[in-house]
A and B are shown apart, each in its own frame.
Chain A
Amino acid sequence: MGAISKARSQAADAGKFVADWLEHRAGIVTMMEHFLYEPVPKRGAWIYTLGSATLFLITLQFLTGILLLFYYVPSTDHAWNSIYYIMNEAYFGTLIRGIHYWSANFLLAVIGLHMAQVFFSGGYKAPRELNWVVGVVLLLLVVIIAFTGYALRWDQDGVWATVVGMKIGSYSPFVGAYTIQFLMGGDTIGPATVSRFFAIHVWLLPAALAPFIGIHLYLLRRHGVFGDEMEYRERLAKLQERQRLEEYEQYEDDGEPYVGRRDRADRD
């Protein structure tokens, strides 16, 4: 046996040992299997990556946003200066802020595509309509986060875009005035506006976004993605048959009576 193949088999043994160890203590492998594999229809499989692309971009937003917080100062006197610092002095500041900016822009575009895909493939139909609703909530949250982020730049673009946005809001019946007074922190734009937009952009809405992403993913996994119904059912039936057999075998090995597995909820 050559040295290389020996090393390889040793590494494989070590890997297996670690995986087994973790599996026994935390059920990691089973969990990974559960989280990683999701059958998607064969035809147009790439189209099903749009949701993951959205999730990826949101993750980028969280990561770069956290980094920007190391330098950003939410005050009327210093907001612009601190961004100027990020853009000109901080190492890779242009890159980090650029990613935050561009992934925010792409995020909205990709969400649009993702929604179009779900809409045109009929993926919003029962029993997935609740997930569509959760998705719409996510969309609204992202739009408001994008809007509030624009103001934080506190440059001419950001401020006027914010004024225009708030004026649009001010035309809503009955609550218009209150809404923008709440956003501005008074009856005029000023220091309170920056603080509020900061609180909403950085804390309130991301904190609201995270659990909704969780629900969105949970519901997705509960019902699976929707595709060409015939093809999908066939594939799913085969997969479940295989899983059932595997599980059956395992229970036999363990010497325990087979109790069956919980059926997937979308199989009626």
Chain B
Amino acid sequence: MAELQKDPMTRGDFLGFGILGTIVGALLTIPPAAFVLGPVIDVNVRGESDVPDDWYRVGPIGEIPAKEPKVYVVEFPVNQVYSEEQVIEEGVETPGATIDNAVWTSWREEIGENGEAIHRIPSFVESGVQPPLTQEQIDEVTANLNVLSSSCAHLGCPVRWIVKEDGGEFLCPCHGGIYDINGGYVGGPPPRGMYSFTFEVREDANIYVKHEFDIGGDKGPQQPYVI
């Protein structure tokens, strides 16, 4: 057998070295570990997000057609490294970085008794929106609007709307996930339908979203991690 230890060590020495080693080891490990794990600590322990918890404007509801979705691009500011708020405030002339998310908006589609598609576009929208909206109008819009993330529920590729003879569908370019106009799951590898943004409609007839998903759906809650 290979003999590593030439001088025998007493139990006391062993414990002493063990304790000393643990202390020194911890002192040497904690700073670099905390340094690189900083963002994980910020997000999970301190509950901070890189995107400020605000409402961001998506676009006017009046531009969403009756039977097709419309895509808006929202630029969410990102607080990271050199685009961190503090850094920018200090007068360094770096424009803050943004993360651009495509938001698919559409009017809810339902299947009527005879199998025909009913598009739930509010009549006052169809005849031309006149801001400011009343509370009833806002409620009606909120109840019938889809505000979907373009990020595929499978692995996050951006889905796009494909026009077909009898309407269309959302198709994911990566592995062929398919969703209907409401973001419901139709086919392919995604485990659920498209994610909806947390949104609100305001008097100015615009949609506003937060940088978070409203988790629902029949497959149970699922945390989206990359948006």
Q: Which residues of A contact B (CB under 8 A)?
A: 75-77, 160, 163-164, 166-168, 170, 176-178, 180-182, 184-193, 195
When distances are taken between beta carbons in the complex, the residues of chain B under 8 Å from A185 are 39, 80-81
Whether the Cβ atoms of B97 and A186 lie closer than 8 Å is no
Q: Complex formed: what's the CA distance from A187 to B213 in Å?
A: 13
Whether the Cβ atoms of A167 and B44 lie closer than 8 Å is no
Whether the Cβ atoms of B155 and A168 lie closer than 8 Å is yes
- Least CB distance from B19 to A in Å reads 30
When distances are taken between beta carbons in the complex, the residues of chain B under 8 Å from A186 are 39, 42-43, 49-50, 78-80
Whether the Cβ atoms of A181 and B40 lie closer than 8 Å is yes
When distances are taken between beta carbons in the complex, the residues of chain B under 8 Å from A178 are 40, 44
When distances are taken between beta carbons in the complex, the residues of chain B under 8 Å from A195 are 81
B226 within 8 A of A: yes
Whether the Cβ atoms of B80 and A166 lie closer than 8 Å is no
B223 within 8 A of A: yes
Whether the Cβ atoms of B156 and A163 lie closer than 8 Å is yes
B51 within 8 A of A: yes
Q: Complex formed: what's the CA distance from A86 to B39 in Å?
A: 32
Q: Complex formed: what's the CA distance from A163 to B149 in Å?
A: 14
Q: Complex formed: what's the CA distance from A166 to B226 in Å?
A: 8
B158 within 8 A of A: yes
Given A164-B174, A182-B39, A190:B155 Cβ within 8 A? no
Residue on A nearest B38 in the bound complex, by CB: A185
Residue on A nearest B49 in the bound complex, by CB: A187
Given A160-B157, A186-B50, A191:B225 Cβ within 8 A? no
- Which of B202-222 touch A at CB < 8 Å? 211
Q: Complex formed: what's the CA distance from A52 to B51 in Å?
A: 48
Whether the Cβ atoms of A191 and B43 lie closer than 8 Å is no
Q: Of B51, B78, B156, which is within 8 A of A191 by CB?
A: B78
- Least CB distance from B15 to A in Å reads 32
When distances are taken between beta carbons in the complex, the residues of chain B under 8 Å from A164 are 155-157, 174
When distances are taken between beta carbons in the complex, the residues of chain A under 8 Å from B99 are 188-190
- The main secondary structure of chain A at its interface with chain B is helix
B37 within 8 A of A: yes
Q: Complex formed: what's the CA distance from A185 to B155 in Å?
A: 19
Between A and B, 28 residue pairs with Cβ closer than 8 Å are A76-B83, A160-B174, A163-B157, A163-B226, A164-B174, A166-B156, A170-B225, A170-B226, A177-B44, A180-B225, A181-B225, A182-B36, A182-B39, A182-B40, A184-B39, A186-B49, A187-B39, A187-B43, A187-B51, A188-B211, A188-B227, A189-B226, A190-B78, A190-B81, A190-B83, A191-B97, A192-B50, A193-B80
B55 within 8 A of A: no
Q: Of A166, A167, A188, which is within 8 A of B78 by CB?
A: A188
When distances are taken between beta carbons in the complex, the residues of chain A under 8 Å from B39 are 181-182, 184-187, 192
When distances are taken between beta carbons in the complex, the residues of chain A under 8 Å from B156 are 160, 163-164, 166-167
Q: Of B76, B81, B151, B154, which is within 8 A of A192 by CB?
A: B81
Q: Of A163, A168, A190, which is within 8 A of B50 by CB?
A: A190
- Least CB distance from A79 to B in Å reads 12
Whether the Cβ atoms of B155 and A191 lie closer than 8 Å is no
B124 within 8 A of A: no
B82 within 8 A of A: yes
**A186-B50, A188-B211, A192-B81 provided; 6 other pairs, C-beta below 8 A?**
A77-B97, A186-B39, A188-B50, A190-B50, A190-B81, A195-B81
When distances are taken between beta carbons in the complex, the residues of chain B under 8 Å from A160 are 156-158, 174
Ranked 6 nearest A-B pairs via Cβ:
A190-B78, A186-B50, A192-B80, A170-B225, A190-B80, A167-B155
Whether the Cβ atoms of A191 and B81 lie closer than 8 Å is yes
Residue on B nearest A182 in the bound complex, by CB: B40
Residue on B nearest A185 in the bound complex, by CB: B39
Q: Complex formed: what's the CA distance from A180 to B158 in Å?
A: 19
Interface flags for B48-86 (1: CB within 8 Å of A; 0: not) read 011100000000000000000000000010111111000
- Least CB distance from A29 to B in Å reads 32
Given A160-B157, A176-B225, A190-B97, A182:B37 Cβ within 8 A? yes
